Amino acid sequence: MIFGCKSEPNKDEAAESTEGNTIPVDYAKGFTLTDFGNYKILTVENPWPEADVSYRYLLAEKDAEIPKNIKYDQKITVPVEKVVVTSTTHIPSLEVLEEEQTLVGFPGLDYISSEETRKLINNGSVTELGKNEAINTEILLDLQPDVVIGFSLDGSNKTFNTIQKSGIPVVFNGDWTESSPLGKAEWIKFFGAFYNKSEEAAEFFKEVSAAYEDAKKLAENSSSQPTVISGAMYQDQWYLPAGDSWQAQFMEDANANYLYSDSRGSGSISLSFENVLEKAKDADFWAGPAQFLTYEEMENTSQHYREFDAFQKKNIYTFASATGTTGGVIFYELAPIRPDLVLKDLISIFHPELLPNYETTFYKPLQ
């Protein structure tokens, strides 16, 4: 448990009325949202991988009458007017809801790529908070945000504990724990709740999910199913997406044969070079070779890369080359909320006849 003290008043009393409107959540597995009119209950089920705790957040309008027997971990007054978020994946959600102007602080401003939010950074509206693992709490407390949207790898973030003890609520966002592309994107509804914009969030997700499903059906029209490898070596180990990861799901939905789709796990797996070479030497495509930007860079790092057909035939595609003005990788920021664009990128690469003259958003040919 991250917090030593939780706000759960009147524990012996009956639970609050269930006569609320449950906001539909179709793909995401990490949160639920119930609307009671002038207040909402947001429950985050999976704040980090294999978490054994969930959190209930009360999102209440300023003059809302809250039942005395309601139970919650943190209370946030909505709509929020000042917010601190801690991941670049949160930025597009604010922009979709047209609430980027509420952002007052962020750890690692250079990682933000969005032109709209960079304008706010450049005019001094957003304050640098240091590194994510060591947020400058003194500066953050001076900003007095209504809420801090954070994430934790294992629930041991002492900085969040300090922030919360000061009276500023910390809410965990678990979008990164979702394994499906549409599951990640549906967390726009999480953000919509903080701004009383659940309808706008639902409408956006409806459009994205429809575009994704249409692209998936388009990919099924191809009779070919090219083989694909991913990842690269780091200190003699090859790291690549596991078979249950969102990256693997993208390749399956793009009608490609990801050669490690049968591996277990939703993160990454590590293998020996020999293992990967034996299985993937003849792979048609190589999608996502870590942070490499050029064939020369790969070759200089390891001559072994030359042994793969995808290297020899120049069929390697990277998302690392599409960056913002300060070097942030656009894929890490925008892809989670726009999986439809990722899928179309991959379809145009694996099945170019289905999307002729398509200009990709994230994946570019390795130089």
Question: What pLDDT does 13 receive?
Answer: 38
Structure confidence at residue 50 as a pLDDT band (50, 70, 90): confident
Backbone angles phi, psi at 185, to 5 degrees: -65, -30
Cβ atoms of residues 316 and 305 within 8 Å? no
319: pLDDT strictly greater than 70: yes
Domain 220-365 is of which CATH architecture? 3-Layer(aba) Sandwich (3.40)
**pLDDT tens figures, 145-201:** 999 999 988 878 889 999 999 999 999 999 999 989 999 999 999 999 999 999 999
What is the mean pLDDT of the segment spanning 204-231? 97
Question: What pLDDT does 266 receive?
Answer: 86
What is the mean pLDDT of the segment spanning 108-129? 97
Question: What pLDDT does 232 receive?
Answer: 97
Residues 365 and 290: their CA atoms lie apart, in Å, by 13
Residues 45 and 72: their CA atoms lie apart, in Å, by 13
1: pLDDT strictly greater than 60: no
Residue type, 104: V
93: pLDDT strictly greater than 50: yes
Angle at 175 between CA 174 and CA 181, to 5 degrees: 150
What is the mean pLDDT of the segment spanning 23-48? 95
Residues 191 and 97: their CA atoms lie apart, in Å, by 8
Residue type, 128: E
Same fold, 21-209 and 220-365: yes
Domain 21-209, classified CATH 3.40.50.740, yes or no: no
Query: What percentage of the chain exceeds 90 in pLDDT?
Result: 87
pTM of the model: 0.92
6: pLDDT strictly greater than 50: no
**pLDDT tens figures, 67-85:** 999 999 999 999 999 999 9
Structure confidence at residue 101 as a pLDDT band (50, 70, 90): very high
51: pLDDT strictly greater than 70: yes
What is the mean pLDDT of the segment spanning 130-146? 92
Residue 197 class from Cβ within 10 Å (0-12 exposed, 13-18 middle, 19+ buried)?
buried
Spans of all domains in the chain: 21-209, 220-365
**pLDDT tens figures, 234-292:** 988 999 999 999 999 999 999 999 999 999 988 899 999 999 999 999 999 999 999 99
3: pLDDT strictly greater than 60: no
